[in-house]
Structure 1
Amino acid sequence: MKWTILASSGVLGAAICSCTAKTLLADNDPTIREDVSQNQSTEHTLTLKQAQVFFRHGARTTIHTIPKLDEAVYDANILRHLIPHTAFDLDMVDLVTGGPKKKSHLDDHYAKKKLSGGCVAGQLTTVGQQQCFLLGQKLKEEYIYKAKLITEDFDPSRVLGRSTNVQRTIESLRCVMAGMFGVQNLRKIAPVKVYVADSKDEVLFPNIQRCHVLKQNNHSVLFHIADKPEYLPYRHELEKVFGVNFKDHVGLNFVGIRDDLVARKAHGLPVPPYALPLWDMIELMASKMMYATFCGQHKAERHLITRLSTGPLMTYVMDNIRDLEENKRDAKKLFLFATHDSTIVGMLGLLGIWDEQWPPYSVDLRFELYENEKNEKFIQVLYKGKPMKVRGCDSTLCSLKQFRQAMKPFMIREKEFHSICNSDILEQIDKEIKEEEKGEIQTEEVREQSETPAGM
């Protein structure tokens, strides 16, 4: 399908809604692509050539629980059964070796926390399955019916499904694919191959485990940022209301408090009434904390942390575009990436469109590649279905050349990545990092949390 758009500062005229389930939080309202500016006069015809879709997993059980607050009951009989219209068999393949996927250390981490009602921490629920199924249906409308980028018959030569090696993202990918291609079609060719990477190779989220610099920053944010002047008054307010002291509980912070409350709200479980007046503050402070984790705490380290946390992923995005440009045999038309809030936060920061709002369940971030009749290529980035004017671009529709130039400072290859990650560069930039660690008792619990990205 071809799109007629107005070039200078226009927005594509196709209507698209971001996925929501009826139980989804209010901050994920559908957003419609609006028509282009009426002031523009030069028309060009563009054809969609490729789409890379990153989406957060659907609603899940909580990872963190607030001390002294009665636990919510996550009934496994209600929340953990397989929704039939999402059910088909997957074959999980290691992206590098082509063999079976390896054991997930993150799933082992979540399994240690048993929740009341029979679930464990961090599991995709029936609510989350439906959210992702609806996202798949929206993608079907956009890329199969309207743009005709691909067909409804799943074709692995044109479509690549990839997930982080975490059960909730793998299940979310299954549900998105079910919504997009239909389980009847997928069952005909099942098991359907989708790909994961070993933790040492993962770029789909900021990889704390393979980067000392990111681990240092992650630890600093999780364990020390609440002591800083910008956060301290709000921490004291939360401690008073919830009757807890952050220092008495390993890793208790704004992110953990938000996690417990949002998971309750998404599943219709009791939320303490005294938390409601604090809701906006908790959302904002937790979001700021996540941004500090994956995009740096200070302006001086912003580019460094952003590049290390999300640069490898942006490099991958640009490589996928280059493969299509060069007509490589294995180049794909559509990529479906099942990821995390940490992925989306890092990408929004890198793109210069961070809005200080936590990415909701099943939210999507897309990179669309277009070509006009002169073979000129353009990129459009959409978040929550809305075209975004990203860093270094003059409009929401950006020439590929301009976009590539804007992303170049953040792109990074393995050799340079490991060289920087193994250095003491963060300590040189941020003198507080080393001071914070003095006198700390590094228990196994502290060490495990330091090695787990904030929010995961």
Structure 2
Amino acid sequence: MSWRHWRKLKLFAATACGVCLAKTFSPVRNVSSEKVVIYNENNDYVDQVDGVDSPNQCLPDENNLILRQVQVYFRHGARTPLQITPGIEQAGYFPEFVLRDAPHTLFWYSLTYMDNTPVESSSFDYQYRRTKLKGGGHAGMLTSYGQDQMYLLGRQLRYDYINTGFLCPEYNEEQIFVRSTNMKRTIDSARCVLAGLYTAEELNKTCSVKIVTSPSIDEVLFPNNINCPVVKDVINATMVDFDNIPGIKEDRMKMESALGLDSTKDGHKLHFVHMRDDLTARMAHGWMVPKVVLPFMDLVEENATKLLYFAMCGKTEEERKTVLPLSVGPALTMSVKMMEDMMNGKSQKMLCLYSTHDSLMICLLEAFGLYNNTWPEYAADFRLELYEDRNQEFWVKVRYCGQDKSLPPCSESMFSFDQFSKMMKPYVKEKKEYLRICNSNILKNLSKGGSR
């Protein structure tokens, strides 16, 4: 199991502002078109849509592409843990880690809701502040190291999109869109990415940098268990009633025994997701893993990753057909609309930055067939690049953590927008339809083995 929580960022050579990004692509391999089956909330068969591949579909050559828009989803940087693991000594999070902002990331910006109204204080941050940590910090804080991680991601984006001529080095509020969940660690992460992309000095010249967020009930940058009862029920069935998942209880009791805990007496069961979160934060900030835990690292990783995946995407294949579109659909609906607005001339947004969480990143990877049972690292990024060819046809490319990603069943990472739209059809829903499914009895029908 990989416990790496940072990655090297490649630097690309600079070119003059105004030069288009160009790549060389080979033709898409011809494979049979797969079908995506769609069910309604009663689990009744509704329709099939074509898969992402199309026979004899070729990609444009390097002289036939102009990059028009980039959308980047990224997980926040390293932070303090959300929970404390019982049975082991706490790690210390001292002022040099959690109370000092990296000066090269500081600039003036405004934070508003999407409709430009003032942002209310975050109920999430209120809860995090109640968990005090050894050393003076509290739960869920983006640390100085985490800020530097996000700054480096911003530098990577600068090399990829400013030094290649797609964006100019001067910040243009008409071309940049930045959205974050209403949590301090994601807002701070967005700030640090912008500082790496443009430099704090350049951003302070503009006095027009804006980061937008949404009330929790309207948030699309995490699987929303606040406005969607179906998502809430699935998360609770996994994150609260985790002992019902085969193998979890046995491994939990083994881990508790090693730590000298007895949940049968105090009722406080060890949670693998919380334990992994604690261990990951320790290692990211240079703390040693307690010796008693070392033999169980793979056990913790495997069980925690399984629980988070089940909670966000569903436990069974049938459940995932319903849950995944509800967990990630609102975000992908936003992304598709951003592309369409650019294609139709309704928007000038060339770069869209979305500061989010591991929960959404897992859903994005699963939706694109890229999830490989690995937890997204701090500062992991998922990109959708929109290109236009000489025939005014549009293409979409997928990248994850700096690498082009081919999507099943094809061997290439780029698709025509028509192919991409077909691929997104199960996820793109109007809000009214999304809420209707969220408030339906579809999970009960699934548990009863509803008709197909």
TM-score (norm: length of structure 2)? 0.84
Change (3 A) 1:420 1:245: farther
Please list the CA deviations of residues 299-340 of structure 1 after superposition, one character each: whole Å capped at 9, or x if unmatched: 111111101110111111100000001001x33100011111
- 2:111 aligned partner: 92
Equivalent-residue separation in structure 1 for 2:336 and 2:311 (angstroms): 24
1:71 corresponds to 2:71? no
> Deviations for 1:144-185, whole angstroms, at most 9, x for unmatched residues?
011x22111111100111111000000001100000001110
Match of 2:437 in 1: 420
Relative to 1, partners in 2 of residues 1:385 and 1:226: Cα closer, same or farther, differing over 3 Å?
farther
Return the alpha-carbon distance in structure 1 between the equivalents of residues 400 and 166 of structure 2: 19
Whole-angstrom CA distance in 2 between matches of 1:266 and 1:260: 10
Aligned to 1:175: 192
Residues 111/6 of structure 1: CA separation in 2 closer, same or farther (3 Å cut): same
8 Å CA contact 2:171, 2:198 repeated in 1: yes
Q: Which amino acid aligns with 1:202?
A: E
Aligned to 2:74: 55
- Partner SS, residue 24 of structure 2: strand
Looking at structure 1, the residues matched to 223 and 171 of structure 2 have their Cα atoms a distance apart, in angstroms, of: 30
Call closer, same or farther: CA 1:177–1:84 in 2, change over 3 Å.
Answer: same
Give, in angstroms, the shift of residue 393 of structure 1. 5.1
Residues 393 and 403 in structure 1, CA contact (< 8 A), matched pair in contact too: no
Deviations 1:202-253 (A, max 9, x none): 1011111111111111111012223322433322322222223456455741
Task: Give 1:190 deviation, angstroms.
Answer: 2.7
Aligned with 1:273: secondary structure?
coil
Does residue 298 in structure 1 map to residue 320 in structure 2? no
CA distance in 1, matches of 2:132, 2:252: 27
Distance 1:340 1:149 in 2: 27
The corresponding residue for 2:286 is 268
Distance 1:171 1:431 in 2: 45
Report the counterpart of residue 219 of structure 1 in structure 2. 236
Corresponding position of 2:48: none
Corresponding letter in the other structure for 1:356: N
For residue 104 of structure 1, the aligned residue among 101, 122, 128 is 122
Secondary structure (helix, strand or coil) at the match of 2:345 reads: coil
Paired with 2:365 and 2:306, the residues of 1 have a C-alpha distance of 13
Structure 2 match to 1:117: 135
Opposite residue 417 of structure 1, the aligned amino acid is: Y
- Bigger drift between 46-55 and 238-247 goes to 238-247
CA 1:396–1:84: 2 relative to 1, 3 Å: same
Structure 1: state its 5+ residue gaps. Answer: 11-39, 433-456
* Within-5 A mapping of 1:169-208: 169-190=186-207, 192-208=209-225
Contact 2:97-2:145 within 8 A present in 1 as well: no
Report the Cα distance in structure 2 between the residues aligned to 1:348 and 1:42, rounded to whole angstroms.
25
1:255 aligns with 273
Runs of 4+ in 1 over 4 A off after TM superposition: 245-251, 391-394
Q: Note if 1:159 corresponds to 2:156.
A: no
Q: Is the 8 A contact 2:312 2:327 kept in 1?
A: yes
**Residue identity in the other structure for 2:351:** L
Which one-letter code corresponds to 1:411 in the other structure? V
Q: CA deviation at 1:392?
A: 6.2
Distance in 2 of aligned mates of 1:3 and 1:91: 35
Is the 2:358–2:376 contact (alpha carbons within 8 Å) kept by the matching residues of 1? yes
CA contact (8 A) 1:90 1:194 kept: yes
Match of 2:6 in 1: none
Shift of 1:44: 4.3
Q: Secondary structure at the match of 1:69?
A: coil
Match of 1:268, as an amino acid?
A: G
TM-score by length of 1: 0.84
> Secondary structure, in 3 states, of the residue corresponding to 1:368?
strand
| Partner of residue 126 from structure 1, selected from 101, 121, 144 | 144
What amino acid maps onto 1:7 in structure 2? Answer: S
> Kindly tell me: are residues 67 and 41 of structure 1, through their superposed partners in 2, closer, same or farther at Cα, counting changes over 3 Å?
closer
Matched residue count? 400
1:41 shift after superposition: 11
Q: What's the CA shift string for 1:429-448, capped at 9, x where partnerless?
A: 1369xxxxxxxxxxxxxxxx
Q: Secondary structure at the match of 2:342?
A: helix
Match of residue 348 from structure 2: 331
Structure 2 residue runs without a partner (length 5+):
1-19, 30-57
Alignment of 1:335-346 (within 5 A): 335-346=352-363
Q: Matches of 1:42 and 1:197 in 2, distance apart?
A: 38
Deviation at 1:391, TM superposition (A): 4.8
Pick closer, same or farther for the CA change 1:301–1:246 going to 2, 3 Å: farther
Task: Say which is worse superposed, 233-242 or 411-420, in terms of deviation.
Answer: 233-242
Residue 163 (structure 2) pairs with residue 145 (structure 1): yes
Secondary structure at the residue paired with 2:230? helix
Q: Is the CA contact 1:226–1:253 (under 8 Å) kept in the aligned structure 2?
A: no
